[in-house]
Amino acid sequence: MSNPTNPTRPGWSQPPTQLPPQPPKRRQRGKIIALALLTVVVLVAIVGALASNTPKATVTATSTPATSPADTTPTEGSAASDTSAAPAEVATGKVGDTVTTQASDTGEKQAEITIARSSSRAAPSSTSPRGASTWAPM
């Protein structure tokens, strides 16, 4: 019986066991580091180019008038609500109350307006068909 696995037997040739020459590990590591550095440099260059070409965002401040064209403040002794804190606020009250109007640009007081009283007396029937008969005095 022959032993094919016996390489020492005369007549058998050794299988080719030569491998490609391996570069030294130090050289391989250097290549990897150089490639990484190059990648970083390229990335930095790309990011820089993009940043310089990107248009800067523009914020435009739009000013709006802080006050309405006319605002009101209650008159002393009036039962009207306090509107002096918020110029655009609507003064509310009841009949008998007084409001003071102000110029929006200068803040100068313009007038005191009072609804002194109201009456539910009906209009003449020719102009108000609903008539007085259905309304009671206030």
Partner 1 sequence: MGAYVTVRALADNVSTPWGDIYATVNGHHHDGDACCPEFGPSLDYVNLNKGEHAEGWLAFDVPSRHGQLVLRNASDNSKIAVWTF
Q: For residue 119, give every residue at least 6 positions away whose Cβ sits within 8 Å of its Cβ, in sequence order, or none.
A: 137, 138
* Interacting span for partner 1 (CB under 8 A) from 7-15, 18-26, 35-43, 111-119: 111-119
Comparing CB distances to partner 1, the nearer of 61 and 116 is 116
Site string for partner 1, 59-78 (x = CB under 8 A): ---------xxxxx------
Of 113, 39, 35, the closest CA to residue 71 belongs to 113
10 Å Cβ neighbour count for 100?
21
Helix (H, G, I), strand (E, B) or coil at 103: strand
Q: Which residues bind partner 1 (CB under 8 A)?
A: 68-72, 80, 88, 90-95, 97, 99-101, 103, 108-121, 123-124, 127-128, 130, 135-136, 138
